[in-house]
Amino acid sequence: MRTILAAKPSITQREIDYVTDAVTTGWGAQCYDYLNRFSECLREYFDVPHVWPTSSCHGALHIGLKALGVGPGDEVIVPDLTWTGSVFPISWLGATPVFVDALESSWCISPASIIAAITPRTRAIVIVHLYGNLCDMDAIMEIGRAHGIPVIEDAAEAVGSEYHGRKAGSIGDMGVFSMHGTKTLTSGEGGALLCNRDDLVESIATIENQGRKPGKHIIFWVDEIGLKYKLSNIQAALGLGQFERAGELVGAKRKIFDWYQTLLADWDDIALNPQPEGCLNSYWQPTIMFGESWGMTEVRRNALVTAVTSVGVGIRPLFYPVSKLPMYEPAPQNHVTYALHGRGINLPNYFDMTQDDVAYVLATVRERLGPTE
Ligand SMILES: Cc1ncc(COP(=O)(O)O)c(C=O)c1O
């Protein structure tokens, strides 16, 4: 059976050499060498003043929200259409996630829905650049400024995407991203917290360092309850190698998306990931959104995913609205999100894919789509 995975990293001799060096020499006095190089590389790549590599995007968001003082009684606005990684840190802090709707055009959070959801208890806005697509950052940052509410960009899926020349993740008060093994750039597991605000640095640095305030050198003294989401030096070596290849890795994603787009040009009534004027989409996951005429339902879409994955082609369904999951209250008023979720599929996109692989994926999907209703 021909197998096409949903995602797969590209690892070259550069990454192998860095990891081998880190695991061989990166101990004792050298134990932070790759971490320091990786942090510097991220500062440059994202053009932000402050960076903390973390063991996951979830961890980065947990630290960032905690540094903003988010806790019980607070509300945090978050898109309903996202992975739970954008939401669980809010819940772990005892705050309430307030799920808001998506835009039909970008599948990302709707600025108007953010405004409608703001209350005196709103402590932060988490926005998500879904599948590499970009949120309307001008509108969102203006809402944040007007209401005095910090914005955290969840760029877990959008490393390499750009909004008017600025990297996704580098625009908000803070940004977070993921280096999970399925992502365009990976360190196995990993991520980082990016921050543009000097006034948050001491708080973040303290929480991130298990509650030890920066600059204090009293061994084993801890000032407050902190968190531990550090990236290892070995993973930082892998991450460094990947970010040094960021242009090549993101370029491959874009090339593969172009192949899909060309071959899908004669499929009627579908939408693919948009790339608005002035934006660059890194297309983490090329996504087909089937229009009304396909009569696509959640049941039919799930059957399609099962049929296609069972013959070795790794397509995936769109995320569930997080509010539909059993730990939260349903929010069917998020009409766009609830409607989008059942009619979208994500297509494989990884560095080594060939044009023939792309054609095979689409032929496999097409064959199993069956007649429209
Ligand atoms: C939008 C979004 N946010 C957060 C996360 C969490 O990332 P991690 O697995 O690195 O914690 C993911 C993971 O895929 C994600 O897609």
Q: In what order do the strands lie in the sheet with 174-178?
A: 50-54, 191-195, 174-178, 151-154, 122-128, 75-79, 96-100
pLDDT score at 315 = 98
Residue 373 has pLDDT above 70, yes or no: no
CA distance 316 to 322: 16
SS3 202: helix
Mean pLDDT of 13-23: 98
pLDDT in tens, 36-48: 999 999 999 999 9
Q: Which helix (H) or strand (E) holds 51?
A: strand 50-54
Determine if ligand 1 sits within 6 Å of the CB of residue 80: no
Residue 372 has pLDDT above 80, yes or no: no
pLDDT in tens, 112-129: 999 999 999 999 999 999
- Contact by Cβ (8 Å): 30, 23: no
Mean pLDDT of 168-177: 98
Which pLDDT band, with edges at 50, 70 and 90, does 371 fall under?
low
pLDDT score at 36 = 98
Residue 90 has pLDDT above 90, yes or no: yes
pLDDT in tens, 307-320: 999 999 999 999 99
Which pLDDT band, with edges at 50, 70 and 90, does 217 fall under?
confident
Residue nearest to atom 7 of ligand 1 (CA): 57
pLDDT score at 134 = 98
CA distance 357 to 371: 24
Determine if ligand 1 sits within 6 Å of the CB of residue 62: no
Superfamily of domain 246-369 in the CATH hierarchy: Aspartate Aminotransferase, domain 1 (3.90.1150.10)
Cα of 284 vs centre of ligand 1, distance in Å, is: 12
Greater confidence, 215 or 264? 264
What is the pTM (predicted TM-score) of this model?
0.97
Across the chain, mean pLDDT equals 97
β pairing state of 279-280 and 122-128: unpaired
Mean pLDDT of 239-258: 98
Q: Does domain 13-243 have CATH number 3.65.10.10?
A: no
- Contact by Cβ (8 Å): 206, 223: yes
Cα of 61 vs centre of ligand 1, distance in Å, is: 10
Domain boundaries, the chain: 13-243, 246-369
Determine if ligand 1 sits within 6 Å of the CB of residue 56: yes
Determine if ligand 1 sits within 6 Å of the CB of residue 128: yes
Quote the DSSP letter at residue 220: T
